[in-house]
Amino acid sequence: MSGDAPLKTASGMNDLSAFWMPFTPNRQFRVAPRLVDGASGMYYHTPDGRQVLDATAGLWCVNAGHCRPSIVAAIQTQAAALDYAPPFQFAHPASFTLARRLAALAPGDLEHVFFCNSGSEAVDTALKIAIAYHRMRGEGARTRLIGRERAYHGVGFGGISVGGMVNNRKHFGPMLAGVDHLPHTYSREQQPFANGQPVWGAHLADDLERLVALHDAGTIAAVIVEPMAGSTGVLPPPQGYLQRLRQICDRHGILLIFDEVITGFGRLGAAFAATRFGVVPDLLCFAKGVSNAAAPLGGVLARGLVYDAFMQGPEHVIELMHGYTYSAHPMGVAAAHATLDLYTEENLFARALALEPVWAKAIQGMRDAPFVQDIRTIGLAAGIDLAPPEGAPGKRGFEAMRNAFHEQDVMVRVSGDTIALSPPLIVSEAEIGEIASRVRAALESLA
């Protein structure tokens, strides 16, 4: 079958069933597919010739906008020059220069990079490094991992174990042993229509002291949090919360991991959320925006103290028994170099920060739109909670997303009944206005 094979069979039957789509109601999708077959800048193109405004940067990842010529050229050049290099025992030079650039972007002494291909792999890598780190230092009893309710850390068994979204967990058995969870930081009563970091909620970090008292610090390897929970509906951290987590981790020798798969590379107006919030984790997971999603790439930034703990013993012995065939894949690395160039040349992180008030005003202005219960904005991200219809959670969100795409030519992301917005950082003020008015229209047509 060629790539041009028709989507319909000769008998006219819908032939979309071979691809088992991820995180998608497959049977429903086949009835009214949402297909895109091109993209440029702020827009997706559909096979029927529509231009769809991308209010989600793909999946929180196309931060510099679509099909940027310099990234395309970098991938094309790389594919012709060096298609693949094994990352175990061999390497290609650009992976070292990329690691140096990422370390330079990161705050504090996050200065070593372990590459992988996705956010899920980055999370599993960080969790494994944390446990192995304690063992390297003779504290092998520290194996417990602490996640948080309402967290999304991808779909590996490690990620769903520390994650806190019930539907991503309940089908998959007992998962990792020895995991506990902090409470999430959202309260509609205490933080309604939050613009930026809510004032209420720093005390929720103190729950880590309760878990230390329950399990003993000597059994806890690491705490992992998204500095801003993204996939669960954009929950900015309460003021002082991350600082308090950092202090408690320090007090008890627990590693702090930030999952910055969404917040990295400008989403909150800085290279990393760690920079914006002034808290340096011991391990930092990244993916998505690092390569503008033009080729898969992810990784973990590690502080010197973590890396150094592994660099001991006989020099011919592998220090960390972990890695992926496609760690630092040349195409991902080339895309990332070109992406970082664009971020710098176009000053996109500062641009996102400068647009934050415009964004907040436009999106918070939707609070009187039909079904809206709460709105949270920070950086160039927003979560809009919709009232679910009686007995059918998720239906309103799904219908809003469908109307937005089919009727209003705007792509939004939904998680349950929450619309999440996260446009590419190149979005103009006029396009921010368009996003708000098209999403409002999509909600009005549901009313």
Q: Which is nearer to ligand PLP, 353 or 381 (CB)?
A: 381
| Binds ligand PLP (CB under 6 A): choice among 58, 65, 87, 154 | 154
| Binds ligand PLP (CB under 6 A): choice among 65, 164, 198, 230 | 230
Contact call for residue 147 and ligand PLP (CB under 6 A): no
| Binds ligand PLP (CB under 6 A): choice among 106, 123, 248, 328 | 123
| Binds ligand PLP (CB under 6 A): choice among 112, 153, 181, 267 | 153
Q: Which residues contact 388 (CB under 8 A, 6 or more apart)?
A: 394, 395, 396, 397, 416, 417
| Binds ligand PLP (CB under 6 A): choice among 129, 131, 225, 261 | 261
Contact call for residue 342 and ligand PLP (CB under 6 A): no
Give me the DSSP letters along 271-338: S-HHHHHT---SEEEE-GGGGTTSS--EEEEEEHHHHHHHS-S-TTS-S-----TTTT-HHHHHHHHH
Quick check: 149 and 166 in contact, CB under 8 A?
A: no
Tell me if residue 160 falls in helix, strand or coil: helix
Considering the complex, what minimum distance in angstroms separates the CB of residue 86 from ligand PLP?
22
Contact call for residue 427 and ligand PLP (CB under 6 A): no
The residue among 272, 291, 274 whose CA lies nearest residue 57 is: 291
Considering the complex, what minimum distance in angstroms separates the CB of residue 37 from ligand PLP?
22
Contact call for residue 386 and ligand PLP (CB under 6 A): no
Tell me if residue 193 falls in helix, strand or coil: coil
| Binds ligand PLP (CB under 6 A): choice among 56, 63, 78, 120 | 120
Q: Which is nearer to ligand PLP, 154 or 379 (CB)?
A: 154
Q: How far is CA 348 from the centre of its chain?
A: 18
Residue with tokens 């795409």: 405
Position closest to ligand PLP via CB: 119
Quick check: 339 and 290 in contact, CB under 8 A?
A: yes
Quick check: 219 and 141 in contact, CB under 8 A?
A: yes
Q: Which is nearer to ligand PLP, 122 or 372 (CB)?
A: 122
| Binds ligand PLP (CB under 6 A): choice among 43, 133, 152, 277 | 152
The residue among 186, 183, 175 whose CA lies nearest residue 148 is: 183
**Residues at the interface with ligand PLP (CB under 6 A):** 60, 118-120, 123, 152-154, 226, 230-231, 259, 261-262, 287
